[in-house]
Amino acid sequence: MNIRTSLLPVLLVALTPMLHASESKRTANYILTTPTAFEGKDITLDVSFVKPSHVKSPIPEIAFFHAATLDRLEHKPGGNILVVIAAEDASKFAKKYGTNFEGRNASNPLKGILAAAPGGKRQGQVWLLDTTGKIGELIKQNKLVIEEEAGGGPGAGPRHPRRPGGF
C-alpha cells in the first residue's frame, strides 16, 4: 500500500474539526445548538436586523424582539433568537439594528445573558437573550412566562423560539 493512499484518510479525519471551527460562534444557531453550555453567561451575537415580537410582556418595563443573526465569516443567516430589552429603549433598539434585511450585509454586536424562561402553555423552555440583566431574577420568582399573544393568527408570536430558525 502506498503511503500517500494511507495518509489521505488520516489527514481528512484530522482536518474535519478545523473546517467546522471556522463557523461563527456569534450566531443564534451556534448558541442554540447547545444552549445549556451558555446559560447564564454573557454572550455576544452579530445581529443583522430585529423585528418586534408578538410575545406578551407580563412586565410593562420590558419588551421582546426577535433578532436575526448573521454569520460574518460566511456572510449567511445565522438563525434567530428572542431578545428582552427595556421597553423604554425599544425605538432606539429598532433604529440601531434596523427592522428589515434589505441592503444590510453587515451586523452589529448585541450583548446579553442567555436565559431559559418557562414557555407557558407550550411545554419546555424558551431561550432568550437578556439585555436588561433582570430576567434571571424574574424567572426565579416565577414572574416571567413566555406566552404568545392571543388571537394573533398565523405568523403571530414566535414560531419556534426554542430552536434555531425562522421568524
Q: Round to whole Å and give the CA distance between 67 and 80.
A: 5
Q: Cell for 159?
A: 414560531
> Is 99 within a domain?
yes
Q: Give the per-residue pLDDT at 63.
A: 95
> Is 66 within a domain?
yes
Q: Give the per-residue pLDDT at 88.
A: 96
The HSE-up count of residue 15 (CA atoms within 13 Å, CB side) is 6
Q: Which domain holds residue 51?
A: 23-148
Q: Give the per-residue pLDDT at 75.
A: 79
List, for the chain, all residue ranges whose pLDDT scores fall below the cut of 50: 8, 11-12, 15-21, 151-167
> Is 46 within a domain?
yes
CA of 96: how far to CAs of 43, 110, 121, in Å?
19, 10, 33
> Is 3 within a domain?
no
Q: Which of 109, 38, 40, 98 is nearest to 70 (CA)?
A: 109
> Is 91 within a domain?
yes
Instruction: Provide the domain count of the chain.
Output: 1
> Is 82 within a domain?
yes
Q: Give the per-residue pLDDT at 164.
A: 42
Q: CATH number of the domain at 30, please.
A: 2.40.50
Q: Which of 124, 134, 133 is nearest to 161 (CA)?
A: 124
> Is 163 within a domain?
no
> Is 38 within a domain?
yes
Longest CA span, the chain: 72
pTM of the model: 0.74
